[in-house]
Amino acid sequence: MNSLELQSYLHQHIPLSLAMQVTVVEASPHQVVLSAPLAPNINHRETVFGGSASAVAILAAWSMLHVGLSAEGMGSRLVIQRNTMDYLAPIEGSFTAVAHAPAQPAWQAFTRMIQRKGLGRLTQTAMLHYQGQAVGSLSGEFVAFGPGHA
């Protein structure tokens, strides 16, 4: 799945990503990078609304897992179960969310559980960046249901 395919998928299946003007900068087996502008995500302080920052970070983490599962031909229903978000600094303009591929042992355990039990859980992280600085971090637990499960 390349950047344009992922962006099209997000905009079609997660309409909030279109409203927030999220673009996919990179979609590879190694990392996903999303970008979002300030204007549709602005708050009363003329910085990025915390909910928008969190949503873009969740989208990046979710997308990293989606890209990985798609590359392995593993159709699944992938959802977030819980997350924590740390806001490190205000975001005053366009920003990115970067999610790196999970470590290989964790990924293998995740996909093995989906194949064996029809359900796998994995913690995925994403970092927000603005002007070269880390401005937020997300840690989310995601659940993938294999075909024929929930």
Q: Hey, how many other C-beta atoms are within 10 angstroms of the C-beta on 102?
A: 20
Model confidence pLDDT, tens digit, residues 14-43 = 999 999 999 999 999 999 999 999 999 999
Closest among 85, 84, 145 to 114, alpha carbons compared: 145
Could you say which of 3.20.20.70, 3.40.50.720, 3.10.129.10, 3.90.1150.10 is the CATH number of the domain covering 3-145?
3.10.129.10
Stated pTM of the model: 0.95
* Torsion sign across C-alpha atoms 103, 11, 77, 59: positive
Model confidence pLDDT, tens digit, residues 101-110 = 999 999 999 9
What three-state secondary structure class fits 108?
helix
